[in-house]
Structure 1
Amino acid sequence: MIDHIVLVKFSESTTEEQLHEVIKRFRTLRNKIMGIIDLQAGLNFAESGKEYQVILKVRFEDRQALELYKPNPEHQAVASFIREVGRVDSIVVDIEI
């Protein structure tokens, strides 16, 4: 199994409502993309690293499922939306468990 973890930083002009919409859109991917075992998304409330507001954790069956996820149109639509609402940076970590 593969855990795909993404921390997303947004601009100061991104609203709380937009952050919640990002999370909602991330969560819908679970039922739309094959190979996803589990998906969690939420707001970061930790003091350290607080500049990264949205956290996504996706568990995939295997590396192939992760590779198929990246270009998937459903995933790309969410990626496009996060850029639209002010994505500044992201950190991505993939680990095999």
Structure 2
Amino acid sequence: MIDHIVLVKFGPSTTPEQLAEVVSRFKALRGHLTGVVDLQAGLNFSDKSQGHQVVLSVRFENRAALEAYGPNPRHQEVAAFIREVGRVDSIVVDFEL
């Protein structure tokens, strides 16, 4: 299994409503991806996160499922929305269990 963790930081013009919409769009991906064991998304409340506000955690069955995720059209739509509402930075970590 593969865990895929994404932390996203947005600029000061990004509204709380837009952050909530990012989380909703992340959660909606679950039904459109193959090889997903679990998918969680939420707003970060820790002050130890270097300003990253949104977290996505996806557990994939294998590396092939992770590789299919990147070019998936639904994922690309969410990525475009994130850029549109003011993404400043992302940290991505993938590791095998």
What's the TM-score bracket when you normalise by the shorter of the two chains?
Answer: over 0.9
Counterpart CA distance in 2 for 1:50 and 1:18 is 19
Could you say which residue in structure 2 is the equivalent of 1:87? 87
Matched, 1:52 2:52: yes
User: How much identity, in percent, do the aligned residues show?
Assistant: 67
Deviations 1:57-85 (A, max 9, x none): 00000000000000000000000000000
Structure 1 residue runs without a partner (length 5+): none
Could you say which residue in structure 1 is the equivalent of 2:6? 6
Contact 1:44 1:50 in 2 (8 A): no
After TM superposition, the structure 1 = structure 2 runs for residues 16-95 of structure 1, keeping only pairs within 5 Å, are 16-95=16-95
Which amino acid is 1:88 matched to? V
C-alpha displacement of 1:50: 4.8
Aligned-CA RMSD value: 0.6
Counterpart CA distance in 2 for 1:14 and 1:45 is 16
Which of structure 1's runs of 4+ aligned residues deviate more than 2 A?
Answer: none
C-alpha displacement of 1:49: 1.2
Structure 2 residue runs without a partner (length 5+): none
